[in-house]
Amino acid sequence: MKIALFGYGGMGKVVRRIAEERGHEIVAVIDPGVDGEGTAVENGDLATADVAIDFSLADGVLSNVRACSDAGVNIVVGTTGWYDKIEEVRKLVEHGGKEIQAAVGFLWSSNFSIGVNLYFKIIDEAAKLMNGFDEYDVWGHEIHHHNKADSPSGTAKTLSKILVDRLERKTAVIDEKLNRRREHGEIHFSSVRGGPVNFAHTIGFDSAADKITITHEARSRDGYALGAVKAAEWLKGKKGFFEMEDFLKDEMA
């Protein structure tokens, strides 16, 4: 499979290594931020790709999707922090770009790690179990490496949504500095940034009698990159707007 990469930071480099280990060819690497040049890292024609993988910056996602839509190239997006533009992206995906009036395939996730996506399901089931036990409060905490651009992460936002959806006694998540007492109905989800390679999330169910904590901690970026490459393999030849759940249903089957 021929792959174009948007973004060539830490994740982009690992995605390239994993993709090449799986026998794929990188035909273009595009990162306007590298060395301040504002140009592609490597010469390459986006239109020759079967699929693009985006781990760039949030403010570039819309233009990257537009470029892929114009070129008729499917795209997998692992960049976070752009979700306020999701309806614009959906329109581009479903109706095509300026030059090619046909849909492309698009798949996004707040986190492409298979382990993290299984973790989402574990937290979902745990929250459903805890819904009937008001004596348990709930909180969340994450730590990411010092180069992480957004806070809270997309993963933290996904976990927050799961908890609010499943726990009837909780109505809001506070993810900035909580410089006051936490109000009834709120969940506090804290974020820390530090160190070169940190990726961990913990959800705590906490009562006066005991505490249950459920943690996912990544050892490297490899799991995130592998999930993105496998998602790109799945997306080849497909058209439409997809989320990680669509890919996982086939994987688990």
Distance in Å from the first CA to the final CA of the chain: 23
E-state strands within 109-197? 137-144, 172-174, 186-193
Spatial separation of the C-alpha atoms in residues 107 and 244, rounded to whole Å:
7
Spatial separation of the C-alpha atoms in residues 198 and 182, rounded to whole Å:
27
Q: What is the pTM of this model?
A: 0.80
Q: What pLDDT sits at residue 17?
A: 97
Q: What pLDDT sits at residue 10?
A: 87
Q: What pLDDT sits at residue 36?
A: 45
Residue in 98, 141, 144, 170 annotated catalytic: 144
Spatial separation of the C-alpha atoms in residues 221 and 154, rounded to whole Å:
16
Residue in 24, 148, 201, 216 annotated catalytic: 148
Helix, strand or coil for residue 200? strand
Verify whether residue 24 is a known catalytic residue.
no
* Phi, psi torsion values for 213, nearest 5 degrees: -120, 140
The domain limits of the chain are 2-112+222-252, 114-217
Verify whether residue 238 is a known catalytic residue.
no
Tokens of 248: 């996982």
* CATH level 3 topology of 114-217: Dihydrodipicolinate Reductase; domain 2 (3.30.360)
Which has the closest alpha carbon to 199: 142, 114, 150? Answer: 142
Low-confidence ranges of the chain (pLDDT < 50): 36-39, 41, 100
User: Which contiguous run of DSSP H or E holds residue 8?
Assistant: none
Question: In CATH, which of 3.10.290.10, 3.40.50.2300, 3.30.70.330, 3.40.50.720 is domain 2-112+222-252?
Answer: 3.40.50.720
Q: What pLDDT sits at residue 121?
A: 95
Helix, strand or coil for residue 30? strand
